[in-house]
Amino acid sequence: MQNIKLIALDLDGTALTPNNTVSDATVDAVRRAREAGVHVVISTGRICGEARDFAVQMKADDLMVTAGGASISRVSTGRCMMRMSMPWEPAVRAAAAVERIGLMVMVYVGETLLITPYDEMEFAKYRSNEGYLAVKQVVPSIAEFIAEGHVSVDKIFARSKDPVTLQMVRDQIRQIPGVRVMSSAEDNIEVVTPAADKGTALGMLCRELGTDLSHAAAIGDSENDLEMLRAVELPIAMGNANDAVKAICKRHTLTNAEDGVAAAIDRILAENG
């Protein structure tokens, strides 16, 4: 019999509905898991301030993997307790690449989101939770701000509806030593240090909680979940996950429109021995 002591939940496309909300079924499943002594933690590409709002709604554990594995944060404080930032010069080059081509860009610096006035208007159309509003800082040019202030950058998030443009930027950034590029959806790219991924960060988080990855399950749907899913004992793919995620997972669940996270948690609890 398996003995899962921790369940890690991605947010977008996984624990959140297609409308970016937390369903009652997910809240109830998280409650049942924690009452059974199983840790339930958020593991997301979002910055800690945004992730905190959803963790509070779900009543998840205090520790979270945030910024795609570049940081570990606390729900109780809304602050990072660990950061794995990019080297300064590669971060400047990557930020300049996405800014030059005109993508919508957000840069994660600890608990702060750097955005330009243009990006503020565009991201406001879909990122409206209190965590986002509280942590954003508007600057004229992100690349110049990083360069002039020698700012330590955890993650660069860029979005475009044009797949050709995204692929072009992705190819450019791949040529920059000292960074790694991935995505959490078809319309974005995420840039982090090669040392940062959700699997590595989740292993650190497990140790903080007195457990390990051999007693962990994870649920995800996209490219930035792959290392986390490979790292845990029980990787679970959402019904809406991409093919690469489904290929490496031991188990599949329903989509995020069908409360797939709740169904997966309930099955784990039923099988825990």
pLDDT, one tens digit for every residue, the chain (273 residues): 479 999 999 999 999 999 999 999 999 999 999 999 999 999 999 999 999 999 999 999 999 999 999 999 999 999 999 999 999 999 999 999 999 988 889 999 999 999 998 887 777 666 556 666 678 899 999 999 999 999 999 999 999 999 999 999 999 999 999 999 999 889 999 999 999 999 999 999 999 999 999 999 999 999 999 999 999 999 999 999 999 999 999 999 999 999 999 999 999 999 996
Residue indicated by tokens 């729900």 = 75
pTM: 0.93
| Phi–psi pair at 115, nearest 5 degrees | -145, 160
- CATH assignment at residue 226: 3.40.50.1000
With respect to residue 230, please indicate whether it lies within any of the assigned structural domains: yes
> Quick one: how far is CA 111 from the chain centroid?
14
Which amino acid is located at 92 in the chain? V
Burial per residue of 228-256, b for 16 or more beta-carbon CB atoms within 10 angstroms, e otherwise:
bbebbbbbbbbebbbeebeeebeeebebb
Which CATH number fits the domain that encloses residue 169? 3.30.1240.10
Find the domain containing 22 and state its range.
6-83+196-271
Residue with tokens 């937390």: 22
Query: Do 12 and 76 fall within a single domain?
Result: yes
Last residue in a domain, options 192, 211, 230: 192
Residue that finishes a domain, picked among 192, 214, 231: 192
Q: Is 236 helix (H, G, I), strand (E, B) or coil?
A: strand
